[in-house]
Amino acid sequence: MIAPDPSPRTASHDGPGPDDGDSPGDHAAAKRRFLRDAAASVRDTDHRAFVRRALGGYYATRDAQKARYRDWEQARDAASLAKWSAVNRLDELLPRFEAAFTANGGVIHWARDADEARRIVLDLLRAVRARAVIKSKCMTSEEIHLNAAMEADGYGVVESDLGEFIQQLRGEPPYHFVFPCMHVRRGEISDLFTRHLGSPPTDDPEELTMIARRHMRRLYVEADVGITGANFLVAETGQISITENEGNARLTAGLPRVHIAIAGIEKVVERLDDLAVLLPMLATAGTGQPLTCYNTLYSGPRRAGECDGPEEMHVVLLDNRRSAILADPEQRDSLHCIRCGACLNVCPIFKNVGGFTYGTTYQGPIGSVITPHLRGLADWNHLSGASSLCGACTDACPVRIDIHHHLLHNRRNAARTAPNRWERLGHRLFAAVATRPWLFALAGRIGRFTLPVARWLRPPLLAQWLESRDLPAAPRHSFRSQWRSRRRGA
């Protein structure tokens, strides 16, 4: 078992709110933590510069790769349609996937929530007398906090994806759901490996990668159970599709005698042909590749005549409030997400506040859209406010999710369910003033008079706003009086 570095994030990362429902009590705790962490990240200019530099290469390769599409925009339409028609027929496609996968010799498990999913996996581990578990990258397992549950039951669990392995050693959740340790400098990784694996210090990313590779090789061979995620579930053929670059998912699904995959119910697509569009677009949008290094379809356990592969294969289908998103026709398309991470990579908020500030399994714009549904609007509504609504996320999305409008929808829904009395009073006051010309003129006069005083006095209500901004100088005359005098002059 790996003992991670002590980290304050392990315990407090997820803030309030169980992952399977609304939490009673202090709804503002997550928001307070967000504001505190965001302020700290924004001031850490080294960190921001480092993250920007790390993403710099992504923009160049992604653009070069997009240029190879004969029509990227229409390809986005095709990808969007493939997901639209699948998500809107989940009731038909989920049983179809189940039947086809079962016919291939696999076993399907249904999990209503995180707790049920964890119990299913732990029961499976017990049933197959597992000792060592190897995992490849799986965000649904992060969502249900599977590692902690397995470790509490005494299983040794190792993350095999290099980035996830580094995060596991650091005792931190992923910083970015595609690039888990993009915030970590190579020197820190070298120290980490020296401490945990006893390797000599090095500054070379290649050598660091080889240290992890050598460490992991024995673990693949010795593990009894491999746990993976799934990027797509093909209803037509009963196959699951896993996208990766390192080969660690191939080894995780190939060598242990039991393979368990955990997937959200929204991962179903209807036809194998849909992957001809979705796989290249996932790679191009996510990492700027033509296709990631390994795109693998698994239909079940080892077949007669095949020389290796697991004896058992299980797929855990996880709802965990995805059906609540499905029940909202306006935001249903947020279930189209293929988790490419493109919206994070282009988001000015993500680049400035950093991945940990969100405090969610899914960071960035798409995380801000779906987390309020998955874990309660009252606790996570503030994420929808953390957006400039610039729309870069919507432009980047390969399946055309209208992300920034959904952030607006969340804000509206939050205002409906828990109206802010002060905000409402403010708007009423403004309406009362703005609809009475004499009052508007008077308010303007007062404003022109008090603005210079406010600049100097910095009253408490304005102080926070003024930390990073200057109040404009007050004009001598109101717009209306300028308008009148100019018309007279002309």
User: Judged by CB, which is closer to another protein: 258, or 386?
Assistant: 258
Residue 370 CB, nearest approach to another protein (Å): 15
* Residue appearing with tokens 């209503």: 112
Residue number with CB closer to another protein (38 or 313)? 313
Choose between 221 and 439: whose C-beta lies nearer to another protein.
Answer: 221
- Closer residue to another protein (CB): 10 or 245: 245
Closer residue to another protein (CB): 369 or 386: 369
| Torsion sign, CA atoms 336, 341, 342, 347 | positive
Locate 273 and state its tokens.
């042909």
Separation CA 105–CA 103 (nearest Å): 5
Q: Which is nearer to another protein, 91 or 470 (CB)?
A: 91
Nearer to another protein, 133 or 279 (CB): 279
In whole angstroms, how close is the CB of 369 to another protein at the nearest point? 15
Q: For 277, list phi and psi in degrees, rounded to 5.
A: -95, -45
Per the CB < 8 A criterion, the answer to whether 246 and 209 are in contact is no
Residue 164 CB, nearest approach to another protein (Å)? 9
Q: Is 73 exposed, middle or buried (0-12, 13-18, 19+ CB in 10 A)?
A: exposed
Shortest separation between residue 109's beta carbon and another protein, angstroms: 6
* Phi–psi pair at 12, nearest 5 degrees: -100, -5
Q: Shortest Cβ distance from residue 389 to another protein (Å)?
A: 18
Of the pair 219, 389, the CB lying nearest another protein is at 219
Per-residue CA distances from 189 to 7, 184, 195, 375 (Å): 15, 7, 10, 33
State the nearest-atom distance from the C-beta of 163 to another protein, in Å: 4
Among residues 231, 261, 241, 264, the alpha carbon closest in space to that of 112 is found at: 264
Instruction: Name which of 14 and 246 has its Cβ closer to another protein.
Output: 246
- Cβ atoms 148, 116 nearer than 8 A: no
Distance in Å from the first CA to the final CA of the chain: 83
Task: Supply the minimum distance, in Å, between the C-beta of residue 254 and another protein.
Answer: 3
Q: Contact, 262 vs 172, CB < 8 A? A: no
CB of 412 to another protein, least distance (A): 17
Going 396 to 402 to 403 to 407, the CA torsion angle's sign is positive
What is the C-alpha to C-alpha distance for residues 355 and 390, in angstroms, rounded to an integer? 19
CB of 173 to another protein, least distance (A): 15
Tell me the C-alpha to C-alpha distance, in Å, between residue 483 and each of 127, 223, 449, 477. Answer: 81, 78, 20, 10
